[in-house]
Amino acid sequence: MVTQVTSFGRSGLSDWVVQRVSAVILGAYTIFLLFWVASTPDASYEQWTALFSCTAMRIFSLLSLLSLIAHAWIGIWTIATDYLTPMSFGKAATKVRFLFLCACAIVLFVYFIWGIDILWGVK
Instruction: Say how far apart CA 114 and CA 108 lie, in whole Å.
Output: 10
In degrees and rounded to multiples of 5, residue 42 shows phi and psi of: -110, 45
Contacts with another protein by CB under 8 A lie at 2, 20, 23-24, 27, 30-31, 38, 45, 48-49, 52, 68, 72, 75-76, 79, 81-82, 85-87, 104, 107, 111, 114-115, 117-118, 121-122
How far apart are CB 24 and another protein at their closest, in Å? 7
Provide, rounded to whole angstroms, the least separation between the CB of residue 54 and another protein: 13
- Measured from the CB atom, the residue of 9 and 104 that comes closer to another protein is 104
Q: How far, in Å, CA of 59 to CA of 63, rounded?
A: 6
| Residue from 79, 102, 103, 81 nearest 93 by CA | 81
Smallest distance from another protein to CB 11, Å: 16
CA 11/CA 19 separation, integer angstroms: 12
Residue with Cβ nearer another protein (63 or 72):
72
For the bound state, the minimum distance from the C-beta of residue 109 to another protein, rounded and expressed in Å, comes to: 13
Are the C-beta atoms of 85 and 94 separated by less than 8 Å? no
